[in-house]
Structure 1
Amino acid sequence: MNIIFISSNTERARKLTLTRSRIILLLGVFSAIVVIAALGLNFISLRYADKIDAPLLRAILVNPQEEKHQKIQAHLQENLNIMASKLGHMQAQLIRLDALGERLVESSGIKSRDFLFKEAPGQGGPKSSLDLLADELTVGEFDDMLQELSTMLDERADKLGALDSLLRYGRVTKFVLPSEMPVETDWYSSGFGYRVDPFTGKKAFHEGVDFAAKTGTPIKAAASGVVIYSDRHSEYGNMVEIDHGDDLVSRYAHASKRIVKLGEVVLQGQKIAEVGSTGRSTGPHLHFEIRHKDKPQNPAKFLKKPG
């Protein structure tokens, strides 16, 4: 390629021949100038950004850097907000788990210091020589750790919740199982099973147990439940029946006085009637039955003092 230069001051023309090597050289020099200029502008914008007074130059040099910096800061702030939200959720979970753990320890009777939920567990150990080679945690790694810890907390909460339900069920079962003595005595005047009927003199099956006691002696509920019968019966006299759930019913007969009413909720140990001799009875006593699905059960299997 030939380039001819003509000047008005001289009649002589100059010719420049561009070979392939010269073109490549010129392009290389031009590229180097552009790169050096860009690096120089970037250096000036970073080092002297706060000292540039020219509005146009400041807009050219500073604004792109500020915009990039603002984007980075916004991205970091967004990540921090997400992690702060996760951290707050985990703190709430820990508070709930601490309360649940303390309740479980209290209900189970554990006295060990291993279960002091309000105190942080002790940790420690010598500084490892490998610490110098360890890399700092990145935001992504820290977020992954938070997520993993949150999942572990959810699993622990589910398991502790299930354990709490089981313990609660055990405590509730204790109070709805007819195990308390209905009257203050340690013996039966007539046991459960076949006996000689005091009225007919024949062998007959006795579906409960009899507790001899003075008229007016308090009759107490053997367990908590709902009163499903409180009325006069032709054979049982004044009778009270309490439903304890799971088709389990306790029956109190021959009372002189009924205190509870139909549909009333009673607690274990609550006074529900008084001993008497009403109905088919030879004298003051309490006839006590436990029935499951309307079939008589031996009260000795339930009561704490079987006689």
Structure 2
Amino acid sequence: MAGLLPDSNGEQQLKKPYNKRRYHLLIQQTGSSSLERLEIQSNLVKVGLMALVVVILGVVTGGAYLFGELHAKNRMGHLQDENQLLAHQLDQVKGELGGVVGEMDSLVEREQLLRVRVDLPPVDADVREAGIGSLVPLQDEVIADARVEELLSELDHLERRLIVTRQSFSEIQDKILDDEDRLHYIPSIIPLNEGRLTDGFGYRRDPFTKRMAFHHGAAFSAPRGTPVYTTADGVVKRVYKAPGYGNMVEVDHGLGYTTIYGHLKRATVRSGQQVKRGEQVGEVGNTGRSTAPHLHYEVRIEGTAVDPLDYFYEGYFMWAGR
């Protein structure tokens, strides 16, 4: 019902009636035709809805938290399994690395022996071990595991040794190639394919004077006309006649080496001609001071005669002594 209320000026005004909103629910029981009316105030409905929202939010939040916890535990389990697997694989790699290190040690031993054989100085131990700085980057996250750090350190050391050893083998190869090139110019074969050694280097009884005299080369008896071959690469220095040795050929091989072929029937080369080891330079003869067809062969180093037998390969030496 409406009433009159005084305002701030003392005047009366009409009071608005209080209209409170209500909700009505009609309920009918099963098997009954009567309806029951239930009144619910609007503020109670609001409170109920708010409570329902709070409950739903709580359930969702709690469920999300529990799901996160379960997921984290599940992931932790997987990470632990992976960690164990990685640890096992790490042990396997370390074992295999030990085998590689053993092979590397064996390789270094062979390399050291080769350096000795080709007359190269040994690699300094400090150079072999020092390397050229860190080759394997060590990340902070892996340093935490001592086994990983140890493995990386061994890999770094192995790679350092590998670099030095590879450089050493390259040096050995260059030396061998250089020596092979030099070997072409060093007398090293018998100058005949047939015949026999009759006199060696040193003192002997001269067949003409019957006195002891020094023989500066080696004498090979062979049939007249037997081919005579140069014993190393070189250049024909002289084709000439000498009072004692008859028709002669002298070949300059470089590196201080020269060879002389005497008592030839004839020379088959000319002065200044390039010759290769095994190339014919003349024929066995009996010219000069000679009692029968044979070859006088000399090897000289810087003009001094040396024993030719010291410059034959083992197989040739056996042939010469038959």
What range is the shorter-chain TM-score in? 0.3 to 0.5
Bigger share in strand: 2
Normalised by the size of structure 1, how large is the TM-score? Answer: 0.48
**Larger Rg, first or second structure (1 or 2):** 2
Normalised by the size of structure 2, how large is the TM-score? Answer: 0.45
